[in-house]
């Protein structure tokens, strides 16, 4: 078996419903069902270049220091490894007092090496894909399909106007 196949895919912040692609799970809360327990805002107890993929679903927005997160993710991911971050959008995301990060459609570009502005953090990632799924809150929910059509053509507009939704950014670890 090749080394790449032995490297895990870890769901960071897995909670009670881990991503089905994950071969290992992590959560900050103690649990018998998770392989790893540590604070994502501290040093991660994972070896350098030891992970094939990281899934972060509705966890990243709670972090105070996104630059630290991307530094640690870049350290533990193998060359060519992948990172998928899904973050909530819309009014629901903005009104949650626990959320520290609020993304727009263009925010994922900040954490990439390509087109990096001088004040953006240095990372070892390239943005491979991003996708948004947006909807209105009741009583306008019946118009959510129309909003999704608009989102496909005008994603920045839709992200700012939706009642709720998700943005998923997929990154690839650039070779060391």
Q: End-to-end CA distance of the chain, in Å?
A: 23
Task: Give a yes or no: residue 59 inside a domain.
Answer: yes
Task: Give a yes or no: residue 140 inside a domain.
Answer: no
Which residue is associated with the tokens 């939706």? Answer: 162
Alpha carbons within 13 A on the beta-carbon side of 30: 0
Question: If you average pLDDT over every residue of the chain, what do you get?
Answer: 89
Q: What angle do CA 94, 58, 86 make, to 5 degrees?
A: 95
The pLDDT, as a whole number, for residue 140 is 78
3-state secondary structure of 128: strand
Residue 131 CA to residue 15 CA, distance in Å, equals 23
Task: Give a yes or no: residue 156 inside a domain.
Answer: no
Task: Give a yes or no: residue 147 inside a domain.
Answer: no
Domain count, the chain: 1
Highest mean pLDDT among 4-13, 18-27, 30-39, 130-139: 18-27
Range of the domain at 38: 3-134+165-173
Tokens of 77: 């991911």
Task: Give a yes or no: residue 98 inside a domain.
Answer: yes
The pLDDT, as a whole number, for residue 136 is 77
- pTM score, two decimals? 0.88
3-state secondary structure of 67: helix
Confidence of residue 1 (pLDDT cuts 50, 70, 90): very low
The pLDDT, as a whole number, for residue 32 is 83
Residue 113 CA to residue 124 CA, distance in Å, equals 6
Tokens of 21: 């692609």
Give 42-54 pLDDT, tens digit per residue: 999 999 999 999 9
Q: Report, as an integer, the average pLDDT of 125-139.
A: 87
Confidence of residue 5 (pLDDT cuts 50, 70, 90): low
Task: Give a yes or no: residue 88 inside a domain.
Answer: yes
Task: Give a yes or no: residue 145 inside a domain.
Answer: no
165: pLDDT strictly greater than 50: yes
Task: Give a yes or no: residue 63 inside a domain.
Answer: yes
Give 79-105 pLDDT, tens digit per residue: 999 999 999 998 878 888 999 988 989
Residue 101 sits in a domain whose CATH number is: 3.40.50.150
Tokens of 171: 């990154």
């Amino acid at each position: 078996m090749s080394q790449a196949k032995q490297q895990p895919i870890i769901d960071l912040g897995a909670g009670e419903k881990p991503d089905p692609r994950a071969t290992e799970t992590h959560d900050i809360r103690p649990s018998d069902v998770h392989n790893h327990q540590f604070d994502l805002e501290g040093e991660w107890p994972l070896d350098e270049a030891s992970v094939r993929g990281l899934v972060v679903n509705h966890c990243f927005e709670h972090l105070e220091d996104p630059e630290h997160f991307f530094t640690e993710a870049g350290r533990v991911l193998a060359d060519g490894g992948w990172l998928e971050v899904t973050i909530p959008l819309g009014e629901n995301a903005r009104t949650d007092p626990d959320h520290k990060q609020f993304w727009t459609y263009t925010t994922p570009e900040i954490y990439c090496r390509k087109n990096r502005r001088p004040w953006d953090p240095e990372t070892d990632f390239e943005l491979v894909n991003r996708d948004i799924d947006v909807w209105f809150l009741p009583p306008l929910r019946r118009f959510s399909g129309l909003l999704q059509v608009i989102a496909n053509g005008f994603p920045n507009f839709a992200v700012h106007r939706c009642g709720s939704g998700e943005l998923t950014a997929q990154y690839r670890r650039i070779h060391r």
